[in-house]
Amino acid sequence: MPKKFQNTLSFARQLDKEDPLKSYRKRFHIPLQKNGKPFIYFCGNSLGLQPKTVRKYIEQELLDWEKLGVEGHFDGKNPWYYYHHFLEKSSAKLVGAKKNEVVIMNSLTVNLHLMMISFYRPTPQRYKILIESPAFPSDQYAVASQAQINGFDPKDAIIEVKPREGEETLRTEDILAKIEELGNELALVMFGGVNYYTGQFFELDKITEAAHKVGALAGFDLAHATGNVLLKLHDWQADFAVWCSYKYLNSGPGGTSGAFVHEKHGNNLATPRLAGWWGNDEKTRFEMQSEFIPQKGAGGWQLSNAQILPMAVHLASLEIFEEVGIRKLRKKADQLTAFMEFIINDLNAKKETPSFQIITPKDPKKRGCQLSILTDETGKHLFKKLTEAGIIADWREPNVIRIAPVPLYNKFEEVWRFGKILGQG
């Protein structure tokens, strides 16, 4: 565990001084307030900041387009025909997969649907989908509509696991018990990796194992997990996963998305899927044959001509992750989050009645770098004060403030300053 923290500016500055990753902040554009001072940006869980290298990466592709036109597909510096391969190695490392188990394409909810088309194959007997509560709205809509187009009533087909009365997060034992209870009615477990609201990192290995034990499949939405927590999708035997690149992966608004298909499915060309020409075997893709021959691996789920410009942004960002390594990031994130937790608890201790309840799990293994703070009725007012003080956080009705100190660009000093303003509320 980290050494004993102190709620002082000098202590926070000392932590920054000792931080082996401190130089990475300079590699990002930090948004500025009207007074020219940088915002304290704790919203990397919604939209990560822009790596300074992004412009150069986009310009390279603009230049190739300008100079080469269509020939850029093969003659460009980074030939567009193969562009998604340039993103494979670093993406695979982040989710704990083999290179051919990942592909970068489309956007998140689109990929979620593509995966469910393949891996939610309900029968009259086995048709239920288990999700966490509260699941991100887009995921709720996606699973409900998948049930619906297969002829099932979402009210019957979609099962939510809820926290126990008086609790805010889910107990693994309750998730596993639900899976077992649903048994041969359960077709798919579709869970978030890290819950967007509470910041809880679920035990995906155990969930996958339990799902497989009853004959169901397990797929994960890793929007809040990729680039944040350690993942081992291949070893965990997850069937599929999807994630976006614009949160912790800093790849810009509406950035491209990732998908994982375990090789047990990806190498089986008979796995049902929606097809498009980009998923066709690369050797014959441009021969324009009428029969679809899927590529082996996750690449076989591609539909369209790759989106080079968002992918160039993603490549610039992934190279930073490749350079630092997720383990070092995780280590700093643990400390940064623990410091934030300490500061909030310290504020509570100074009050007669604690006004901030952290609903994110205390166990560092069960969270990433987000803390969700349940406030009392003064919450909204407090959030306004934070905003006025140049702190960008996130408000969720009815009264939760989500803050994400991100290890690539946030500082301990920023955490301390946040606490100072919170304390004045």
Ligand X SMILES: *Cc1c(COP(=O)(O)O)cnc(C)c1O
Q: Does 192 bind ligand X (CB under 6 A)?
A: yes
Rule CB under 6 A: is residue 108 a binding residue for ligand X? Answer: yes
Helix extents (H) in 19-106: 54-68, 72-75, 88-95
Among 78, 138, 237, 267, binds ligand X (CB under 6 A): 138
Asked if 109 is part of the footprint of ligand X (rule: CB under 6 A), the reply reads: yes
Size, binding site for ligand X by CB under 6 A:
12
Does position 140 interact with ligand X (CB under 6 A)? The reply is no
| DSSP structure string for 61-82 | HHHHHHHHGGGHHHHSSS-GGG
Residues in the chain: 425
User: Shortest Cβ distance from residue 99 to ligand X (Å)?
Assistant: 23
Q: How many CB atoms sit inside 10 A of residue 252's CB?
A: 23
Counting contacts by CB under 6 A, is residue 136 touching ligand X?
Answer: yes
| CB-based burial label for 66 (10 Å; 0-12, 13-18, 19+) | exposed
Given candidates 64, 139, 341, 414, which one binds ligand X under the rule CB under 6 A?
139
Shortest separation between residue 315's beta carbon and ligand X, angstroms = 19
- Terminal C-alpha separation, the chain: 30
Nearer to ligand X, 159 or 223 (CB): 223
What are the beta bridge partners of residue 241? Answer: 220, 260
CA angle 39, 339, 200 (to 5 degrees): 90
Encoded tokens for 157: 């087909």
SS3 400: strand
Contact positions with ligand X (CB under 6 A) in 16-75: none
131-139, 170-178, 307-315, 367-375 -> range binding ligand X (CB under 6 A): 131-139
Q: Tell me which residue has tokens 């997990």.
A: 225
- Tell the smallest beta-carbon distance from residue 43 to ligand X (Å): 12
Q: Is 320 near ligand X (CB under 6 A)?
A: no
CB-facing half-sphere around the CA of 269: CA atoms within 13 A:
8
**By CB under 6 A, is residue 196 in contact with ligand X?**
yes
For ligand X, the closer CB: 142 or 382: 142
DSSP 56: H
Q: Name the token pair of 321.
A: 């992750």
Residues 198-227 that bind ligand X (CB under 6 A): 221, 223-224
Other C-beta atoms lying within 10 Å of the C-beta of residue 213: 12
Nearer to ligand X, 136 or 278 (CB): 136
Least Å from the CB of residue 114 to ligand X: 12
- Biggest CA–CA distance in the chain, Å, is 74
CB of 146 to ligand X, least distance (A): 14
Answer for which of 244, 318, 320, 382 binds ligand X (CB under 6 A) is 244
Q: Closer CB to ligand X, residue 151 or residue 254?
A: 254
For ligand X, the closer CB: 250 or 295: 250
Strand partners, 219: 190, 240
Given the complex with ligand X, which of 109 and 317 has the nearer CB atom? 109
Kindly list the residues in this chain that would bind ligand X in the complex (CB under 6 A).
107-109, 136, 138-139, 192, 196, 221, 223-224, 244
